[in-house]
Amino acid sequence: MIGGIASGLTEVHGFLDSEDCLATLTAMRAMGVAVDTSPEGALRVHGVGLGGLKPPPGPLDMGNAGTAMRLFTGLLAGQSFDSVLVGDSSLMNRPMERVARPLRMMGADIGTEAGKPPVRIQGGRALEGIDYALEVPSAQVKSAILLAGLYATGRTTVTEPAVTRDHTERMLRAFDVDVDSREGRITLLPGQPRGARVDVPGDFSSAAFFLVAGALAEAGPLSIRNVGINPTRTGLLDALRLMGAKIQVETRRSAGAEPVADLLVHPSRLRGIRLPESLVPLAIDELPVLFVAAALAEGETVVTGAAELRVKESDRVGAMAEGLQALGADAETLPDGMRIRGGELHGGTVRSRGDHRVAMSFAVAASRARDPVTIRDTANVATSFPGFEETARRAGLRLTTIE
């Protein structure tokens, strides 16, 4: 997205051909951004500049990508043309007003249907920078405001109630945009991004399933290489260590603006914890697989402050509790989290509710269940982790796809 509105050429190395990423790529091409593949397998994005995007021929389909829809809402708020954002049945039921409200304060004209998609953005509005305090920690809302800030007059500042992932700020700096971050306040001065080389590290959220699987394994260790260890993303690593997991961080290095390392996970005896709420925003996408670790740990685990899980691709609190209960776990839902008393899991059938992270979490749970586990409605795994089955089998999980 940033490469598309930059001046000059951007090369992206390590691009993931997941459905979410491809939906973003397709949308940028629909607005006139040329993207091709280099002989080395990198994406070459020919930037059109801040004012160079063209009206798309129809609604932009985000598929299952909630991040893409919210970030595009910010990017498109300052364009000269009208646009409409749609998605699959799951995405069309996700809340969008938390993004729309601050953008309207900047002068954008954004409409939703009862707070949900389609998101309709009227172009030609003059945006002004704002000083906005996030109501709840949200990297997606923050990022949407910052992208809109590129088109605003004056500075745009976002204040966070708790630390959230900072990939957008790091990326903007890599494209020579003036962004300052300190003490929970992020300030952007509008300016033309310049094309850059981007090296994408391995996704921590994808590695998370294997961190838990390795900690629960009977033999090991398991090595996971080239993982992004941005400190705003690694809450699961801290949580697992609090539970007693033995995880070594080796060969620290950088991939452009992002820190990277190899992770060595040893079989561990996990114990229940009360998860510090300060870690929740740093592990929000990894909490489903943390619930699996808790179900197989000794003692009780309590997670609170995670109401955001209720409005992801599914109600992840409800989906995980229902599935864990079906496998014999003692799991109790809370309004903003879950209470789990660890023990053993037996086999059974669970519904993933079409949620990729729920499906992959139960694949990890199945690795320690006494009997086979059948996971229903798993097609959306490809939205974030194409090739998950092959990678899981290579790590020792015994998975079979039922057509």
CB 277 within 8 A of CB 334: no
Residue of 118, 64, 61, 17 lying closest to 359 (CA atoms): 64
Q: Phi first, then psi: give them for residue 28, nearest 5 degrees.
A: -65, -40
Residue 172 three-state SS? helix
**Which residue in 285, 315, 330, 336 is the catalytic one?**
285
- For CA atoms 135, 139, 141, 147, the dihedral sign is positive
176 is catalytic: no
Residue of 364, 351, 358 lying closest to 383 (CA atoms): 358
| Integer angstrom CA distances of residue 173 from 146, 257, 324, 346, 377 | 12, 8, 42, 49, 40
Give the span between the Cα atoms of 235 and 239, in whole angstroms.
6
DSSP 266-313: E----B--B--GGGTTTSGGGHHHHHHHHHTSBSEEEE-S-GGGGGSS
CB 141 within 8 A of CB 159: no
Which sequence positions are flagged as catalytic? 285
